[in-house]
Amino acid sequence: MKYSDFLTKQNISIGLIWLFHLSGIIGIIYTDSSWFIKATPLNLLISFILLIINIEWTKKLLFLVLLCFSLGMLAEVLGVKFGFIFGEYSYGETMGIKFMDVPLIIGFNWCILVFITGSISNAFFDNLWARILIATGLMLFLDLIIEPVAPVLDFWTFESGLASIHNYIGWTIIAFPLQLIFQKLKLKIDGSFSFHLFVLQCLFFIILLLKINSL
């Protein structure tokens, strides 16, 4: 196999997300943590761009990106402003530019989560409902490990301290229909990039959680 065979768009993208996430972990733990924490929106935006360029561009893709972004932002605005869906919480300053007190990058993050978890479930299951349930479960799992770290990094904070069961029910209410639409549209996504990005996000927050608990 030629060396050039490894320099595919997907392999370069995977290499970049490993570089960014590992740099972030090392930077937050061992160096100027505030700089790396503030770079979180940029890291998420780059991850989103790399994800999109590894998907076949179609009108269905554009539709789903707009849907995930819009529905995700709407749900977050209702949560922040009125305490609906996820409970009463507010965003810190880490996540960057906001619209109605919700960082715009959160809308892109909803796109990332729906796409990578849906893609991963597609790789392991043939049944439609199994794919939807597993993908929704993967989204909930990632949120579960992010929640204890989020207030420490000034991502967001719930008024009650930690997220309640209300938050996870809300996630299911939003994630399930988005996963259903994702499956119905049948986008052509290679699972490799999605798998790497999901594992890296889990690894990132698990390591930070262990670090916080050891202090």
Average pLDDT of the segment spanning 70-96: 93
Range scoring the smallest mean pLDDT among 71-75, 95-99, 185-189:
185-189
Confidence bin at 1 (pLDDT 50/70/90): low
pLDDT at position 27, please?
85
pLDDT digits (tens, 9 = 90+) for 81-90: 998 899 899 9
pLDDT at 3 over 60: no
pLDDT at position 2, please?
58
Confidence bin at 35 (pLDDT 50/70/90): confident
Give me the chain's average pLDDT, please: 90
Confidence bin at 44 (pLDDT 50/70/90): very high
Range of the domain at 17: 3-214
pLDDT digits (tens, 9 = 90+) for 12-22: 999 999 999 99
Listing DSSP states for 109-161 in one string gives HHHHHHHHHHHHHHHH--SHHHHHHHHHHHHHHHHHHHTTTTTTTTSEEETTB
- Of the chain, the percentage scoring pLDDT greater than 70 comes to 95
Non-local (6+) Cβ contacts of 105 within 8 A are: 40, 41, 44, 45, 95, 96, 97
Q: How many domains does the chain have?
A: 1
Instruction: Give the predicted TM-score (pTM) of the model.
Output: 0.92
Q: Residue 65 and residue 68: Cα distance in Å, rounded? A: 5
